[in-house]
Amino acid sequence: MTIFYFTATGNSLAAAKAIGKGVENAKLISIPQIINQPDLSYQDDVIGLVYPIYGFGLPKMVRRFLENVSWEADYTFAVGTYGNEAGAAARNVQRLAQTLGLRLDCSTTLLMVDNYLPGYEMGKQIATLPQKHVEEHLAQIIAGVRARKANQASANLVRRAMTAVIKGGEPLAMRGAQAQGYLVSESCTQCGACAKICPAGNISVGESVRFGDRCEWCLGCVHLCPQNAIHLKNERSAARWRNPEVTLSEIIAANRQT
């Protein structure tokens, strides 16, 4: 089994680890670590994709990965992690894969903690975890993968409309320079953790922290700064999130580009 994943605060990596646990020779491959390789051709008995749902869709880097990868497997699946509403993401990634010549036998979603700080107060999000039954739903996904369950992902008209509206505004909202509006407080020690966490290599640290124009809007640097020194102007709280099943060093190893 080979599982490709993209993670910022650990949710998708935690899911990928759980799906691969106990599978002989299971390989977890971080998309940021391979995205610029000239040859993205893979073969295995089972190939999976675990990704966070951003704005009812794929992170930019995950979409670029799908546009360039080729894979051959007896069974393929995708799991999108989200914290509030998945929209038509599962349906759309399956359809995108088909247009790109990639077979995707199963596409599903997993409700977890939402780390989108402009929309959610993290303390309240964390408090809702027992109601989200993450372990139960993840166990169902794992059972489906083991049984090689196939599906044709669907979404009702409302979810398709919501997704179309949000994705329609994405070219303006997600131009890559979003991080240049982040605020860095005096508590910053220039430790460089943010640069190591960034999956796009968009952060440099010298006498100050500088953000480029390749931001994935994953918020990993904001959530995982050891000094809680990086802030959004419109964040709902200063509380932060890292999935407890994933260490900071694992996220750095997955994302580090510098």
Within this chain, do residues 142 and 185 fall inside the same structural domain, yes or no? no
Q: Please give the tally of structural domains in the chain.
A: 2
- Cα distance between residue 79 and residue 138, in whole Å: 10
Does residue 181 share a domain with residue 101?
A: no
> For residue 170, is pLDDT > 70?
no
Does residue 14 sit in the same domain as residue 132?
yes
Higher pLDDT, 177 or 39: 39
Cα separation, 80 vs 162, whole angstroms: 17
Domain, as residue range, for 97: 2-168
* Shared domain check, 180 and 158: no
Q: Are 59 and 66 in contact (CB under 8 A)?
A: no
Q: What is the CATH number of the domain that holds 40?
A: 3.40.50.360
- Mean pLDDT for the chain overall: 93
The secondary structure of the chain in percent helix, strand, coil, rounded to multiples of 5, reads: 35, 20, 45
pLDDT digit string, tens, across residues 132-156: 999 999 999 999 999 999 999 888 8
d(CA 204, CA 81): 29
pLDDT digits (tens, 9 = 90+) for 14-71: 999 999 999 999 999 999 999 999 999 999 999 999 999 998 889 999 999 999 999 9
Q: 62-93, pLDDT tens digit by residue?
A: 999 999 999 999 999 999 999 988 888 999 99
Q: Is the pLDDT confidence value at 254 over 50?
A: yes
Q: What is the pLDDT of residue 172?
A: 47
Q: For residue 212, what is the domain's CATH number?
A: 3.30.70.20
Q: What is the pLDDT at residue 115?
A: 93
Residues 91 and 39 in one domain: yes
